[in-house]
């Protein structure tokens, strides 16, 4: 128990302490490729080896696949993203939160301690225009050897809906009613480099809160309104310059 006197009162916190036990084996998850296009079937190899080098043959495997938005693709200001580091960058990019469930499965490691699994790159219930332009699909793996000892591992694949990503940022986040607002667009390739010459179609819209229809199933959950996108102004086009900006 940790205790600290504060303003005449003693505050305490119980901290559990347990002996560290080094895992008997290591689990490695290796995707077939580091990035893919949405709609592809992803493949990864699970490999488990005891620390003395022998494969963990015959071990049971349970895996889960999750997808979360890769927010790095949504940040138009590269300098802003560069200023984010460490745990904060991992959190923003989806590195500390698995996200939406995609699939799960089970298997057994072969004599070489390996198992190849396939899993989806997106939620099949989503239409193409409903998918985020970039996601991190994480494969989380748990392995139990014949002696009931456990190990785990994970890896992720960056999945995009196209060969380029586009981010939009307004000149400011507060505007006067009736006054035009300027925005800039940043087009990047999948390595994060500027993508000059990219033509971008822009459609301004506004969010309008409307009442749900009487027979909408969401009313069973206590909801009475929802937000709807309404076009605001005419569509526009822009072409990215040498720096990827438009």
Which tens digit of pLDDT belongs to each residue from 91-127?
444 444 456 888 999 999 999 999 999 999 887 776 6
- Give the residue-averaged pLDDT of 4-20: 81
- What mean pLDDT is reported for the chain? 82
Spell out the SS3 assignment of 187-209. Answer: EEECCCCECCCCEEEECCEEEEE
- Give the residue-averaged pLDDT of 17-37: 85
The dihedral built from the CA positions of residue 77, 78, 79 and 84, taken in this order, carries a sign that is positive
The dihedral built from the CA positions of residue 209, 214, 215 and 217, taken in this order, carries a sign that is positive
Band of pLDDT at residue 57, cut at 50, 70 and 90: very high
Strands of the chain, DSSP E: 2-6, 9-13, 25-31, 35-37, 41-50, 60-69, 100-108, 114-120, 134-144, 150-160, 164-170, 183-189, 199-202, 205-211, 225-231, 236-239
3-state secondary structure of 83: coil
0.85 surpassed by pTM: no
Of these ranges, 47-51, 74-78, 171-175, 241-245, the one predicted with the greatest mean pLDDT is: 47-51
Q: Which of the two residues, 83 and 113, has the higher pLDDT score?
A: 113
């Amino acid at each position: 128990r940790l205790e600290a006197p504060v303003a005449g009162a003693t505050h305490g916190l119980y901290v559990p302490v347990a002996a560290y036990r080094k895992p008997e084996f290591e689990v490695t998850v290796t995707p077939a490729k580091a990035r893919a296009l949405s709609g592809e079937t992803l493949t990864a190899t699970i490999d488990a080896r005891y620390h003395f080098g022998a494969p963990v043959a015959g071990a049971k495997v349970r895996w889960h696949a999750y997808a979360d938005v890769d927010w790095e693709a949504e940040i138009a200001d590269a300098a802003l993203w560069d200023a984010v580091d460490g745990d904060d960058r991992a959190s923003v990019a989806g590195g500390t939160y698995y996200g939406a469930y995609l699939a799960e499965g089970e298997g057994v490691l072969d004599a070489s301690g390996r198992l190849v699994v396939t899993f989806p790159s997106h939620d099949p219930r989503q239409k193409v225009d409903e998918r985020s332009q970039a996601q991190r699909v994480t494969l989380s793996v748990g392995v139990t050897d014949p002696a009931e000892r456990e190990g785990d591992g994970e890896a992720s694949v960056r999945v995009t809906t196209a060969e380029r990503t586009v981010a939009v940022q307004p000149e400011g986040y507060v505007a006067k009613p009736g006054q035009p607002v300027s925005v800039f667009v940043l087009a990047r390739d999948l390595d994060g480099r500027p993508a000059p010459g990219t033509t971008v179609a822009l459609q301004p819209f506004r969010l309008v809160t409307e009442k749900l229809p009487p027979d909408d199933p969401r009313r069973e959950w206590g909801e009475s309104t929802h937000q709807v996108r309404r076009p605001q102004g005419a569509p526009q086009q822009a072409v990215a310059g040498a720096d990827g900006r438009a």
